Structure 1
Amino acid sequence: MTEYATLTINGQTIELPIIEGTEGERAVDIRRLRAETGYISFDPGFANTGSCKSTITYMDGEKGILRYRGIPIEELAEHSSFVETSYLLINGELPTREQLNRTSVQLNDHSLVHEDMQNFYQNFPRASHPMGILSAMVNALRSFYPELLYTDEGFEETFLRLLSKVRTMASMAHKISRGHKVEYPRPDYTYCANFLHMMFNTPVKPYIARKELVKALNVFWILHADHEQNCSTSVVRSVGSARTNIYASLSAGVSALWGALHGGANQAVIQMLTDIHEQGVSVQDVVRRAKDKNDPFRLMGFGHRVYKTYDPRARILKKYVDEVLNRLKLQDPLLDIALELEEVALSDSYFVDYNLYPNVDFYSGILLKAMQIPTNMFTVMFAIGRLPGWIAQWQENLIDPEQRLTRPRQIYIGSNTRPYIPIDERQKA
């Protein structure tokens, strides 16, 4: 039996259906609001607006819950691989051993990119940011690898091609930006081990990825694989609602993720730690400034817009950060500052009372630095991890019969009607 919310505006009453999700979250369906009353809702940033129904990811910020297709993120991080989690997000179920093996083989088969694409890379200015290059190259993929038909087989091959080639293109952007020879993937390596190989292997110094780094990278990408209707995912859905091809839609997602308030946050953490180190500021002074509401300084990597408790992804990633730092026995002043900041934040009552726990961006910045990933590649790493979520969301949006072309409304606050003044009269005024 459908429940209704009653809204009364200027004496006019309208009943709006209440929608309930499988986890008990409730929403008022306002699709008839403008047609029947002439009013629209006003919600800058859409923080209180549901744009779709989805079966992909569930999160509860108050309780610190994150699940992919119903499976807790903690269990996936512990037991799954990034390839298996990607299969889950895109297909809705965990793969059988046969399906997982076939997926791994196909990822290897699709890992090379068209040789002509190297010409594009070579002609980007040397100072180009890898995210700008990645966005352009993902869009360009459609010229080399057109979408296949909208069938299960066509979808699968297109998606696997994207997952594989984006990893290769990201490592190519890094190599070419340094004037190094491009390294190609090895068929005997796993998805994550291959990425590290393509990033760091050279003819002079062969790179062998340590198992703890491969596991940490798997976990890093699993934790970033989807996160409900965040900025970049909403962009992918919005662009896709125009029936834009998946390459252009994902390219738009990469561009959105580039922003400092979204995917660029982990890079901002390292920049903050660098500034603290170079300026010789003590951690105590940094914390004091962060607690001063009149000081414009902001402590990057602490707190989260959605989570009102410890970000579950941060709790998981902290474990692997600690393991990597201990195993590699790294000596880095930035890492020392980060660990001191973490210790203070977890014990200071101000941070605890305001739920300013270290978030996933804080720990991911530390982890990527420990893995020797260049700072300008941090957001690219995020993009690779988020790719299966974007693909799943784009596909769900495409086949959902309730979805329409995204077209938000606005409240106009500009000038009222006014006459056009000829340019000669404007000159005299």
Structure 2
Amino acid sequence: MGRPTETQPDSLTVRDNRTGKTYNIPIVDNAVTATAFKGMTAPKRAGERDENETEKGLRVQDKGFLNTAVIRSEITYIDGEAGVLRYRGYPIEQLALQSSHLETAYLLIYGSLPTGEQYKFFENEVMRHTVVHSDAEGFFRSFRYDAHPMSMLTSAFAMLGSYYSDANPSLQGQRLFTKGDKASLAIMDRQIYRLIGKATTLAAMAYRVRQGRDFVTPPTGLSYTGSFLYQMDHIGEENYVPNPVLEKALDVLFLLHADHELNASCTTVLQTGSSLVDPYSAIAAGCASLYGPLHGGANEAVIRMLISIGSPENVPAFIEAVKRREKTLSGFGHRVYKTSDPRSFIVRKTADEVFKVTGKDELLETAMALHDAAMKDEYFIKRKLAPNVDFCSGLIYRAMGFPLDFFPVLFAVPRVVGWLAHWRQMMLQEGGVKIWRPRQIYVGPGKRDYVPAEQRAAVQGLGKTPSAVEHGGMSKRSMLASFKGKTKL
């Protein structure tokens, strides 16, 4: 890095006022490389902490990845200001209207829309891999009857990894998925077929456990979402076929949820996958990330919010409580979209089609009253809090009869596609895979010498000592009992 010249117009000029030095950093695709700042060193000042590591170069701080690009990607483009979402260049509106979830999965993973023959091959492979090992039944039966389905699904993805030693770089060599040759790609594709195919089966098994029903072998001749509905709902009826409107609606929702760039769960998959772990473990990690209420649990939070509001006449009071920060408004606003979420319009249209079959959800009027009130209120307009994809999708799932705690599962199943697309891209990226190891800004104590216990002063304060918890049942009785070796407090 030297002083900028007239021949370097695409660059950033930085003057370090600590040293007076000027640096020239190239700008490529409207981005600068964070490691370029590492060369901006300065002498340690008097009294400055050693832990600042000033002489080792400048670090870039970005709490929560608000403006840090960690990978170069060709998969999904989002313009949050304009409300644009494209998969591999195709507007989400066009795909939702004309494509299907599996065809879009092909697009996301392999980069182009398939021909009829290519799609038939891909669909056949995915559907052929929907069946799971018979041991999976015992695995699911080992959960408590009231276990959360996302806990079961997360565990089940990890469980799959133990069955496929051919997919484990720890056993087959760390370059198993990074070679990019024909054999390596074939192994990679087999895991992609397995994970997409078995996602619906594992999710349906988690559902059936909660219902206390036997598991259903994946059927033949049905679509991806049709097979999913069949596995959840079939209880022996002859020639059982899911309702086509619900099947199509679920397919559209799957397509809309298939990918959304580097969201929390996708980033988790890539962070985990960067260690070259098997893809099943990476997908399980992504599933765990999606479980959180700030991510995959958002549509469930919308329904709980609407239930708490109760009826349209209670909306104004709720709106005022949100402004006072006494209540949380779910289903509005987005980390990326600052105007409208393009998926929300498609979901509303899909909701209309579903309600024609199921009847309108009793919460719909409350939802619409909340929508209209928020969209007209200056408080929400100034903060750019428009409805997102979660606002109506929960109403559709509820109308279709899915329990609230199953909503995140209906998010995770299609998102497996996006996770795999980004994982595959990282495995095949130029220059190979480097393990993700973010830096930190250390602000803790400097060097301290160990002090024997009898010489220490007690540190008190909320959060500075372990919390006392109440014990009951067997633990309480055991603490009151006498026995050899009992610890005295």
Amino acid at match of 1:328: T
Q: Deviations over 1:328-364 (max 9, x none)?
A: 323x432332232223334444433432211101111
Match of 2:225 among 192, 197, 209: 192
Q: Deviations over 1:190-237 (max 9, x none)?
A: 001111111122226985322221121111111111111111111111
Match of 1:5 in 2: 12
Match of 1:240 in 2: 273
Match of 2:411 among 372, 382, 398: 382
Equivalent residue runs for 1:70-85 within 5 Å = 70-85=89-104
Is contact 2:154-2:287 (8 Å) kept?
A: yes
User: What is the Cα-based RMSD across aligned positions, in Å?
Assistant: 2.0
Which shifted more, 399-408 or 68-77?
399-408
2:128 is the counterpart of 1:121: no
Amino acid at match of 2:22: T
Match of 1:422 in 2: 452
Match of 2:330 in 1: 300
Amino acid at match of 2:11: Y
Between the two proteins, what is the percent identity of the paired residues? 40
Match of 1:146 in 2: 165
SS in structure 1 opposite 2:188? helix
Is contact 2:266-2:286 (8 Å) kept?
A: yes
Distance 1:205 1:298, change over 3 A: farther
Distance in 1, Cα, partners of 2:341 & 2:187: 37
Give the superposition deviation at 1:419.
Answer: 1.6
SS in structure 2 opposite 1:282? helix
Is contact 1:200-1:207 (8 Å) kept?
A: no
Distance 1:125 1:328, change over 3 A: closer
2:77 is the counterpart of 1:64: no
2:34 is the counterpart of 1:30: yes
Is contact 2:137-2:215 (8 Å) kept?
A: no
Match of 2:119 among 81, 97, 100: 100
Unaligned runs of 5+ in 1: 21-25
SS in structure 2 opposite 1:8? strand
Unaligned runs of 5+ in 2: 1-6, 42-56, 168-175, 178-183, 460-489
2:353 is the counterpart of 1:323: yes
Give the superposition deviation at 1:152.
Answer: 2.4
Distance 1:428 1:13, change over 3 A: closer
SS in structure 2 opposite 1:44? coil
SS in structure 1 opposite 2:310? helix
TM-score w.r.t. the length of structure 2 is 0.82
Distance in 1, Cα, partners of 2:71 & 2:365: 43
Distance in 1, Cα, partners of 2:423 & 2:340: 29
Distance in 2, Cα, partners of 1:16 & 1:50: 16
Count residues with an aligned counterpart: 420
Q: Deviations over 1:30-67 (max 9, x none)?
A: 22322443110111001111101000001100011111
Distance in 2, Cα, partners of 1:206 & 1:420: 74
Which shifted more, 32-41 or 182-191?
32-41
Amino acid at match of 1:245: D
Match of 1:44 among 58, 63, 67: 63
Match of 1:23 in 2: none
Match of 1:155 in 2: 188
Distance 1:102 1:64, change over 3 A: same
Is contact 2:191-2:279 (8 Å) kept?
A: no
Match of 2:74 in 1: 55
Give the superposition deviation at 1:378.
Answer: 0.6
Which shifted more, 54-63 or 333-342?
333-342
Which shifted more, 143-152 or 260-269?
143-152
Distance in 2, Cα, partners of 1:217 & 1:281: 31
Amino acid at match of 2:347: L
Which shifted more, 89-98 or 196-205?
196-205
2:319 is the counterpart of 1:287: yes
Q: Which has the larger radius of gyration?
A: 2
Which shifted more, 222-231 or 151-160?
151-160
Is contact 1:225-1:385 (8 Å) kept?
A: yes
Give the superposition deviation at 1:417.
Answer: 1.7
Distance in 1, Cα, partners of 2:451 & 2:136: 52
TM-score w.r.t. the length of structure 1 is 0.93
Match of 1:397 in 2: 426
Match of 1:17 in 2: 26
Distance in 1, Cα, partners of 2:247 & 2:95: 15
